[in-house]
Amino acid sequence: MFSKQLGIKRALVASALAAAVAMGASAVNANIVTYGAQNPNGSGMNAFATFTVGTNGIGVTLTNTTPSTGSDAQEIYGVEFTVVDNNGNPITINTAPTYGVSGTEVSLEQPGGKNTNWLINTATAPNKTISQPSDLSKEWRSLLGSDTGQLTLEVATSKPNDLVIAPPPSPNNYGSAGGLNSAYQHNPQLLSGVTFTLNVPGLSGLDTVQDVTILYGTGPSSTSTTFFPNGVPTPEPATMGMLAVGGLGLLFGRRKRA
Cα distances (Å, whole numbers) of residue 63 to 60, 85, 112, 138: 10, 25, 29, 19
User: What three-state secondary structure class fits 99?
Assistant: strand
What's the pLDDT tens digit per position in 25-42?
544 568 999 999 988 666
pLDDT score, position 133 = 97
In the predicted model, what is the mean pLDDT of the chain? 83
8 Å CB contact between 164 and 103: no
Question: Average pLDDT in the 96-125 region?
Answer: 96
Q: Where are the domains of the chain?
A: 2-244
8 Å CB contact between 223 and 216: yes
Residues in the chain: 258
What's the pLDDT tens digit per position in 158-195?
778 899 999 999 999 999 888 899 999 999 999 999 99
Interatomic CA distance for residues 246 and 45, integer angstroms: 14
Interatomic CA distance for residues 220 and 256, integer angstroms: 7
